[in-house]
């Protein structure tokens, strides 16, 4: 993160305490739907045992030539792909459309804000494309609420579902 910050690229870095993995973005949600969403979450993780993912590699969406989102990858995230796929199926009847792309386990580090030279940010991503940053256990998923502020979103946990 320090190298990205120092790159001079027009980036909005994610604050460390706000870093998370999004399995399914729901957007504006009626409070009355929360119990049904939590039930969908429970069904989506049914039979999935806790597992460990390795934080490794860096990249960008849609790609390094047209950077919009800078990310760090997650290896061993195959169970996350299955959970995300089931969440898509389980939340569609609740009015949440399917994503137009396959789920790719990652954690967003920064977003491009406006125009400007991204060459240095691209160099940082390429230099760390094969680096590993550690592991962490995945033993639950959370329904998060975000409140948008000028400083960035503030997340809070609405409900937690164990694996």
Q: Which domains, ranges and CATH numbers included, belong to the chain?
A: 2-162 (3.90.1140.10)
**pLDDT on residue 16:** 85
**pLDDT given for residue 115 in this prediction:** 77
Using CA atoms, how far apart are residues 21 and 28, in angstroms rounded to an integer? 18
| Beta carbons within 8 Å of 28's beta carbon, 6+ residues apart | none
Residues in the chain where the model's pLDDT stays below 70: none
Helices (H), the chain: 2-6, 34-45, 78-91, 119-127
Catalytic residue (choose from 106, 110, 121, 125): 106
If you search the block for the tokens 């939340």, which residue do you land on? 91
**pTM across the whole model:** 0.88
The one catalytic residue in 1, 10, 13, 20 is 20
State whether the Cα torsion 127-131-133-137 is positive or negative. positive
In angstroms, the CA 25 to CA 36 distance is 15
| Active site (annotated) includes residue 128 | no
The reply to whether 106 belongs to the active site is yes
Q: pLDDT digit string (tens) for 75-121?
A: 999 999 999 999 999 999 999 999 988 999 999 999 999 878 899 99
């Amino acid at each position: 993160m320090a190298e990205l910050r120092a790159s001079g690229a027009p980036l909005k870095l994610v604050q460390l305490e706000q870093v998370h993995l999004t399995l399914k973005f729901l957007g504006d949600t009626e409070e009355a739907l929360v119990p049904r969403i939590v039930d969908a979450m429970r069904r989506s993780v049914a039979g999935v045992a806790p597992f460990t993912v390795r934080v490794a590699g860096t990249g960008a969406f849609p790609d390094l030539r047209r950077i919009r989102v800078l990310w760090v990858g997650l290896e061993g995230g195959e169970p996350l792909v299955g959970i995300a796929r089931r969440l898509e199926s389980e939340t569609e009847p609740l009015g949440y459309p399917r994503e137009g792309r396959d789920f790719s386990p990652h954690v967003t580090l920064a977003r491009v804000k406006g125009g400007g030279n991204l060459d240095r940010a691209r160099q940082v991503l390429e230099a760390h494309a094969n680096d590993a940053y550690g592991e962490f256990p995945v033993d639950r998923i959370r329904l998060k609420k975000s409140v948008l502020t000028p400083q960035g979103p503030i997340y809070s946990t609405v409900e937690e579902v164990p694996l």
